Homo-oligomer: A and B are copies of this chain.
């Protein structure tokens, strides 16, 4: 029951995790876990727990009918508990869902789904990191234009750009792991958070249930305190935004007039129905789209936090759609960017050619810096600004104009000007920055027990 149109924006794995039947499945896991936990604590008979576990894992449920009933009942738990009850018979029915409230089961089931979903997102983020690390290594000396406000600024190695993508992606790995650990905890409080039906054994059942599901037990139930969900949503939104940054760079670098990178070509990919020559950056484009969609859901989740009293009317129910969508889209953005980077075609000769394309203006800062000690900074900058304007309007190289200018000639000879205007000799701390990023990457992998040499991956 996966909507095929979704697969443009997410991965099959994430689509499966959040399919309607998976939610039902996870709710059944919670109900079964609850029964076993209560049997362990002695709240219900072991035989009842066995029957419930059997009913929850045994035969298939009519997912469409359950959702149809949920549209009336308000929650999916009500028809589901009824359906389990029908399977276990009247005697055991009373022990199904004992002491729990709908929200306990729905929230905890979602927490389990979220845990299922973070694993493939983490794996895809690590693919992004590995590709970035590899690009960083391979292109640490590949010169290209650094660009600010989409104007060529000064030269950078492409490896530095990749190192910054790497840092960005690594921070998302760590942020999602940290936030996942903090957010994914058991929900169990009963009707209004007191576990009233369980008398004085509520906390014992909660502990046992947490053990059954391998989830941390929080201090308190959190039915209407949605900060854990919101913070996880926000972390996914930030990850989506991080992917959008990389995808945006790729789309811009792949422009016909820039041509510095391209996505991997493959049959059926990125063509145009009207233009046979087009090789559109489809993965980056769809990554950008998925990121926009993910970020849109963050505002829904944050806006829904003001939930009323012990269970919200409207805000919580909006999360049922918004949170799975956010996971799907954020994970889709990561996956698309992983594909982009793994197949990225880097045209280093074009990078180098573009550097010179602006009449050498990309080296203007270096010239001003070199002249400053001689002329004073303001005068140096003003002089270079004038030369730059002339270079652009007259279409002549900055080098020639500089050498013709008596103020330059008075303090620098042609060799010095050429050295100053050599992009490769003006990279400042780029290599040091690259080293720092790669060291952090190796550290992260080492902590994960993985081999850090990108060439081995």
Whether, in the assembled complex, A180 has its beta carbon less than 8 Å from a beta carbon of chain B, the answer is no
Contact yes or no, B71 A286, CB < 8 A: yes
Q: Tell me which of A69, A254, A284, A302 has the highest count of chain B C-beta atoms within 10 A of its own C-beta.
A: A302
Contact yes or no, A317 B304, CB < 8 A: no
A interface residues, how many (CB within 8 angstroms): 198
Whether, in the assembled complex, A341 has its beta carbon less than 8 Å from a beta carbon of chain B, the answer is no
Give the residues from 383 to 407 in chain A that come closer than 8 angstroms, CB to CB, to chain B: 384-385, 387-389, 391-392, 398
Whether, in the assembled complex, A416 has its beta carbon less than 8 Å from a beta carbon of chain B, the answer is no
Contact yes or no, B152 A191, CB < 8 A: no
Q: What 0/1 readout, one digit per residue, does chain A (206-227) give for beta carbons within 8 Å of chain B?
A: 1000000000001111111111
Q: Tell me which of A93, A206, A280 has the highest count of chain B C-beta atoms within 10 A of its own C-beta.
A: A280
Q: Which residues of B contact A120 (CB under 8 A)?
A: none
Report the Cα distance A252→B309, complex, angstroms: 8
Whether, in the assembled complex, A450 has its beta carbon less than 8 Å from a beta carbon of chain B, the answer is no
Report the Cα distance A280→B150, complex, angstroms: 8
Q: What 0/1 readout, one digit per residue, does chain A (3-39) give for beta carbons within 8 Å of chain B?
A: 1110111000000000010010000000000000000
Q: Which residues of B contact A69 (CB under 8 A)?
A: 268
Contact yes or no, A310 B146, CB < 8 A: yes
Given A238-B302, A308-B147: A101 and B220 interface contact (C-beta under 8 Å): no
Whether, in the assembled complex, A297 has its beta carbon less than 8 Å from a beta carbon of chain B, the answer is yes
Given A302-B241, A365-B197: A67 and B4 interface contact (C-beta under 8 Å): yes
Report the Cα distance A227→B437, complex, angstroms: 16
Given A191-B275, A313-B251: A220 and B433 interface contact (C-beta under 8 Å): yes
Given contacts A149-B311, A251-B314, A288-B314, 8 further A-B contacts (CB under 8 A): A74-B285, A148-B309, A149-B278, A164-B220, A252-B308, A257-B258, A277-B387, A292-B314
